[in-house]
């Protein structure tokens, strides 16, 4: 069995070594320009079009991340009938729940405001938030969003979720589709975006949707930078309608040195690290799926190309 590997910017050696221990029968090689020799599987992150264009004989392409927006941008360079398989949790959901819970509790307990006072050597009481006024809305209730919901449910926040299809998750009020978006946003005090980036969700965090949130609300975006119209958020933070934002993803990454977000203390920036691909877990998951495909079995995490996630 031949496996091609390419993960732009990432040292392939430890990955290839890990696959050798889980799939000892496989031959792994790093793809290089001009390599069009046969392969059964491709394991990729942000691959160049030349790696996949016109390739025949692949049984599956494994994307080394949950989001497939970058690989779908290859368009007709992607072999149309080859299943594209995303990372399906493999330790990402717990990381995302940790990151989001930390940010939510910080805003709920007003720790950002206390920290600002302490920096000024001010010992000051701030009226606490009340849970019943702190409704949390999660956009996207898939692998990651549903884990975030179960983490936050432990604290008894009023929780609501928005997805394409209606869900039944313990302690989460479900809103589905375009027709229920306005109602979902209207009662939300803290909005979390964990949607896939598709033509339907691009720019979904904009002046109109963010203005529909409760006054003095908060935003956490851990999905993709292109979900957010950045200048709209900045204006709403500066007007006070949005009290704070925690952003892990940006339209341009790394965030350019002259970006206004660097100078806005109410916007917390992290460098796209909320849920990282864990090598050991991911290699194990992909290897198990390759073994299942070889046995003629179906695998989870196959991307629906029509939905684009
Ligand atoms: P997922 O399992 O595919 O879940 C996607 C959720 O979004 C589903 O609930 C889906 O609804 C909903 N959705 C999709 N399109 C929608 C639309 N037009 N309107 C309303 N809801 C819609 O994805 P996931 O594994 O949770 O990952 C989500 C995203 O997180 C990834 O695509 C990636 O971009 C991002 N991510 C970021 C990081 C990071 O480090 N920052 C790490 C990993 C992933 P249905 O359930 O009804 O289909
Ligand atoms: C990371 O952003 C991913 O999509 O896995």
Domain locations in the chain?
A: 2-89+278-294, 92-269
pLDDT (0 to 100) of residue 22: 97
Q: Could you please state the CATH topology (level 3) that the domain comprising 92-269 is classified under.
A: Rossmann fold (3.40.50)
Q: In this predicted structure, what is the pLDDT of residue 38?
A: 95
Distance CA 125, CA 72 (A): 50
| Res. 39: pLDDT tops 90 | yes
Band (9; pLDDT cuts 50, 70, 90): confident
User: Is the minimum distance from the CB of 165 to ligand 1 under 6 angstroms?
Assistant: yes
DSSP 3-state assignment of 293?
A: helix
Look at residue 141 and tell me whether its pLDDT is greater than 90. yes
* Residue 65 CA, ligand 1 centroid: distance in Å: 12
Q: Return the pLDDT at 8.
A: 86
Q: Which atom of ligand 1 is nearest to the CA of 68?
A: 32
Provide CB contacts within 8 A for 184, sequence distance 6+.
Answer: 137, 160, 162, 175
Atom of ligand 1 nearest to the CA of 223: 35
Q: Is 227 a catalytic residue?
A: no
Q: What percent of the chain has pLDDT over 70?
A: 100
* pLDDT score of 269: 98
**Selected catalytic residue, list 224, 251, 279, 295:** 224
The predicted structure's pLDDT at residue 276: 97
- The pLDDT-based confidence of 36 (bands split at 50, 70, 90) is very high
Q: Which CATH superfamily includes the segment(s) 2-89+278-294?
A: NAD(P)-binding Rossmann-like Domain (3.40.50.720)
Q: Is 198 a residue whose pLDDT tops 90?
A: yes
pLDDT at residue 292, as a whole number = 98
pLDDT of the residue at 303: 98
Residue 91's pLDDT band (boundaries 50, 70, 90)?
very high
Averaged pLDDT for residues 19-32: 96
Active site residue 241: no
Confirm if 31 and 51 have CB atoms less than 8 A apart: yes
| Mean of the per-residue pLDDT values of the chain | 97
Q: Is the CB of 201 under 6 A from ligand 1?
A: yes
* Region label for 296, one of left (φ > 0), alpha (ψ between -120 and 50) or beta (otherwise): left
Quick one: average pLDDT of 188-216?
98
Give the mean pLDDT of 93-110: 98
Asked whether residue 57 carries a pLDDT value surpassing 90, the answer given is yes
């Amino acid at each position: 069995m031949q496996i091609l590997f390419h993960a732009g910017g990432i040292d392939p050696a430890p990955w290839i070594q890990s696959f050798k221990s889980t799939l000892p029968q496989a031959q792994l090689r790093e793809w290089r320009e001009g390599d069009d020799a046969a392969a059964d599987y491709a394991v990729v992150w942000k691959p160049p079009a030349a790696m996949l264009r016109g390739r025949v004989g692949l049984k599956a392409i494994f994307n080394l991340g949950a989001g497939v927006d970058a690989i779908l941008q290859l368009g007709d360079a992607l072999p149309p009938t080859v299943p594209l398989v995303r990372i399906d949790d493999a330790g990402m959901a717990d990381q995302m729940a940790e990151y989001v819970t930390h940010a939510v509790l910080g805003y709920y307990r007003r720790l950002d405001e206390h920290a600002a006072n302490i920096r000024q050597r001010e010992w000051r009481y701030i009226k606490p938030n009340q849970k019943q006024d702190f409704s949390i809305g999660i956009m996207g209730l898939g692998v990651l969003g549903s884990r975030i919901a179960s983490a936050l449910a432990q604290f008894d926040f009023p929780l609501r979720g928005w997805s394409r299809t209606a869900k039944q998750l313990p302690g989460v009020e479900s809103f589905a589709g375009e027709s229920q978006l306005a109602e979902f946003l209207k009662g939300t005090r803290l909005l979390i975006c964990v949607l896939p980036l598709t033509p339907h969700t691009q720019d979904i965090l904009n002046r109109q949707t963010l203005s529909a949130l409760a006054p003095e609300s908060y935003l956490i975006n851990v999905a993709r930078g292109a979900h957010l119209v950045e200048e709209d958020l900045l204006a709403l933070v500066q007007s006070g309608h949005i009290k704070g934002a925690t952003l892990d993803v940006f339209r341009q990454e790394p965030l350019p040195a002259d970006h206004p977000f660097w100078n806005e203390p109410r916007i917390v920036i992290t460098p796209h690290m909320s849920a990282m691909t864990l090598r050991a877990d991911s290699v194990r998951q992909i290897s198990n799926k390759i073994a299942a495909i070889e046995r003629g079995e179906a695998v989870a995490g196959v991307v629906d190309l029509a939905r684009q996630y």
